Amino acid sequence: MADISVDFAGVKLANPIILASGGPGWDGEHLKRCAKAGAGGLVPKSIGPPARWLQHPRTGRMALVKVGKTVIGMINLELFSTLPLEQWIEKELRIAAEGGAPIIASVVADPEPANTAKVAKQVVDTGYASMIEVNVSCPMPVEKVGMHIGRDPKLVAEQIKAVKEAISLPVSIKLSPNFAYIPELAKAAEQAGADAITATNSVQGLYGVDVETGKLVLPAFGGYSGPAIRPITLRCVAQAARATKIPVCGIGGISSWRDVVEYIMVGATTVQVCTAVMWRGLGVFKELADGLKSFMERKGYERIEDFRGIALKDLTTVEELAQRKPVHASVNEDLCTGCGVCERVCSYDAIKVVEGNAKANQELCDGCGLCKAWCPVEAIDLI
Ligand SMILES: Cc1cc2nc3c(=O)[nH]c(=O)nc-3n(C[C@H](O)[C@H](O)[C@H](O)COP(=O)(O)O)c2cc1C
Ligand code: SF4
Ligand code: SF4
């Protein structure tokens, strides 16, 4: 029997699938429901913003990103929790805890680290939190919060030091995917005493324009989430896992058990899910946990540790790959239908359909792999 329980920086979770900070955890009652539906842990909407941010737009703040009719992501214009700190402390965290899943309380980083630490301590003093997640990564604020703190390793370290001095629970830092230098940021957090890294928040985005009116659909920079951002956030998780020895929680575009496995294979110990829960409901927690368990049983993995990080050993650089022996396209004529897709996408004129069958020219082929990626019947190999 596969065991999907995990130890995340000293916090024991029945499964590694955690509700991320966001809409589904806006108050205690909704957090409790997520726990009852099988979430391994709960991250409430980020607690403790300055009073002027205790509200978010109620002018329509979400829109789906589509390619044709296919939905690939979502942009939202939400800041932090709209409930005051006192309400979380007096009521909401207690109700959330009734669900039985550990609470990883997300705290808004204030430009003054001592203020962040003060909020973290008040939350911890309730006795309902098992861990603090410091949010230095909200992509929306224009003032000096969110990713304006999270882009600077020095500011990140100051936040962690202040929070660590104030509380004795483990502390994670939630990074932004909007910067290339995740290793530096993750290392700075680790050296300052962070117990874990949460990677990552949403990607900063601008939704789009109604071309008939020339008006922006969502007239502010927002947070891009959902399946489309997964390659970006997966990159951040791999970078954080390679750069540090502390556990990493992966977030971004998780919608299936396969995504969960991918994150674990690039080094995540736990994962968080937000958009998939908003789109498909609370059944997502059980679906992902059951899928993860079945996968592990099929592969003979007894524990998550058995396959955590296994994909990282193949991670190299583009420079190194450029030195390797080139491959070229080869067509399986039995499978080829002569559709011509490969000919259209080849920038090197190296593959042509002749008498109903694609023929690759080894001399011209540059080994890019685009024809293989597009072939609808998997008739092309790179050899
Ligand atoms: C509507 C919405 C509100 C969010 N609010 C917060 C927040 O208050 N604090 C935070 O750290 N992240 C917040 N996030 C970011 C998510 O926690 C998560 O990092 C991001 O959406 C990527 O994961 P996903 O693709 O599974 O949604 C929010 C995301 C959404 C969609
Ligand atoms: S895309 Fe595939 S099926 Fe279509 S012509 Fe090329 S090899 Fe044949
Ligand atoms: S691998 Fe690239 S260069 Fe070679 S045939 Fe296919 S598309 Fe053309």
Q: What is the DSSP string of 346-374?
A: -TTS-EEEETTEEEE-TTT-----HHHHH
* In the chain, where the domains are located: 6-314, 318-382
Cβ(109)–Cβ(144) under 8 Å? no
- Give the span between the Cα atoms of 14 and 335, in whole angstroms: 46
- 377 pocket-lining for ligand 2 (C-beta < 6 Å): yes
pLDDT of residue 179: 85
The CB density around residue 18, as the number of other CB atoms within 10 Å, is 28
- Give the span between the Cα atoms of 41 and 5, in whole angstroms: 11
Q: Measured from the CA of 174, which atom of ligand 1 is nearest? A: 11
For 185, the 3-state DSSP assignment is helix
- Bridge partners for 18 per DSSP: 41, 272
- Give the span between the Cα atoms of 307 and 35, in whole angstroms: 26
Structure tokens at 375: 């072939």
CATH of domain 6-314: 3.20.20.70
CA of 29 to the centre of ligand 1 (A): 18
- Give the span between the Cα atoms of 353 and 357, in whole angstroms: 5
Please tell me which residue in 34, 138, 336, 342 is annotated as part of the active site.
138
Structure tokens at 116: 């962040």
pLDDT of residue 236: 98
Cβ(192)–Cβ(199) under 8 Å? no
- 360 pocket-lining for ligand 3 (C-beta < 6 Å): yes
Determine whether 138 is an active site residue. yes
- Give the span between the Cα atoms of 352 and 343, in whole angstroms: 5
For 237, the 3-state DSSP assignment is helix
For ligand 2, atom 6: residue with the closest CA: 342
CATH C-level class of 318-382: alpha beta
For ligand 3, atom 4: residue with the closest CA: 365
- 84 pocket-lining for ligand 3 (C-beta < 6 Å): no
CA of 357 to the centre of ligand 3 (A): 15
pLDDT tens for residues 260-300?
999 999 999 999 999 999 999 999 999 999 999 999 999 99
- 350 pocket-lining for ligand 2 (C-beta < 6 Å): no
- 106 pocket-lining for ligand 1 (C-beta < 6 Å): yes
For 173, the 3-state DSSP assignment is strand
Distance of CA 54 to the CA centre of its chain: 25
DSSP line for 267-336: TEEEEEESHHHHHH-THHHHHHHHHHHHHHHHHT--BGGGTTTGGGGG---HHHHHTSPP--EEE-TTT-
CA of 327 to the centre of ligand 2 (A): 18
Tell me the best of 133, 202, 278 to mutate to test the pocket of ligand 1, counting ligand atoms within 8 Å of each CB and taking the most: 202
Helical segments of the chain, H only: 28-36, 85-87, 93-97, 113-125, 147-150, 153-166, 182-191, 230-243, 257-265, 275-280, 283-299, 318-322, 341-345, 370-374
Find the largest Cα–Cα distance for the chain. Answer: 76
pLDDT of residue 141: 74
Q: Measured from the CA of 351, which atom of ligand 2 is nearest? A: 6
Q: Measured from the CA of 62, which atom of ligand 1 is nearest? A: 1
- Give the span between the Cα atoms of 34 and 19, in whole angstroms: 7
Residue numbers in the chain where pLDDT is lower than 70: none
Cβ(28)–Cβ(92) under 8 Å? yes
Cβ(263)–Cβ(235) under 8 Å? no
CA of 330 to the centre of ligand 3 (A): 9
